Amino acid sequence: MLMEPSIVDTLRRDDASMTAKSLRAFTLIELLVVIAIIAILAAILFPVFAQAREKARSTSCLSNMKQVVLGLTQYVQDYDEVFPNRTLSWPPGEGNYPELEKWTWRVALNPYIKSKGVYQCPSNPFSDKPAGAMAGGQNHPDGFNISYACNVLSVCKDPGDDTFRLAEIIKPASTVAYSEFTLQWTEYNPKSGYHDNTLYAGHQGMTNLAFVDGHVKTMRASQTINSVNDCDEGKAGRTNLWTADAKPFCGGDFDQARINMTHADENLPYKYPW
């Protein structure tokens, strides 16, 4: 006589069936769907993470630049409102000089800034080189690998020239003292063709600037010069954050400055001329 399956047997069979179903492997289509979802999420999130990382680097760079310009402020206060020149004197001879920084504006600020790391921006592609190394790997007596350059139109001049004085700066709060730099020399000249592509704007198209009054700001390079090639400084749109007298660029100076700032906005790589 056949016996009806007990409740226990029924439960066992149901449990075995469920276990078999739960152990069933993914199909190829299911795996491809999962992989596609992961790829989509990665494509969405990786740029966000990269932007967040660059934002952190830019903030660190801005903090470093703040310390540099505060060192400049203290120097100016201690030395009768006189700025240090871009190089304090020319080193003897040419070629491989092992202590380049001793000849530059940085040595004037060293008593106020104790760490070499402050002179380097973590976003700058040259920041992995030690401060004090040769510019671009060349034996140039001016060069040492730091990320910031003094503005030759308002803060620093050549050795032997008269130094800039604070009283000469018409608008300290809107005059650049230090800019980011890719060439790792001592100075930046915004209207020089030799300095084309040397203003570093690697912070998502923005560059960090330090101003004579001691504040720092992130902005587009093209926002730092007048928008029109016209020497009539009485008209609107004549912003110029580089010159001590606050006068706009005009003529050939404007043309070259516009090229320099446009290339900085595009963050074009600089190629050494030698």
pTM over 0.75: no
What gap in Å lies between CA 239 and CA 27, rounded to an integer?
64
Q: What is the pLDDT of residues 65-90, one digit of tens each?
A: 999 999 999 999 999 999 988 766 55
Q: Which residue ranges make up each domain of the chain?
A: 28-265
Compute the distance between CA of residue 211 and CA of residue 176 in angstroms, rounded to an integer: 4
Range in 130-144, 186-200, 223-237 the model is least confident about: 130-144
Q: Identify which has the larger pLDDT, 200 or 25.
A: 200
| Strand 187-188, strand 148-151: pairing | parallel
Instruction: Decide which of 2 and 230 is more confident.
Output: 230
Return the higher-pLDDT residue of 130 and 216: 216
Amino acid present at 148: Y
Query: 70-79, 153-162, 200-209, 234-243: which range is least confident on average?
Result: 234-243
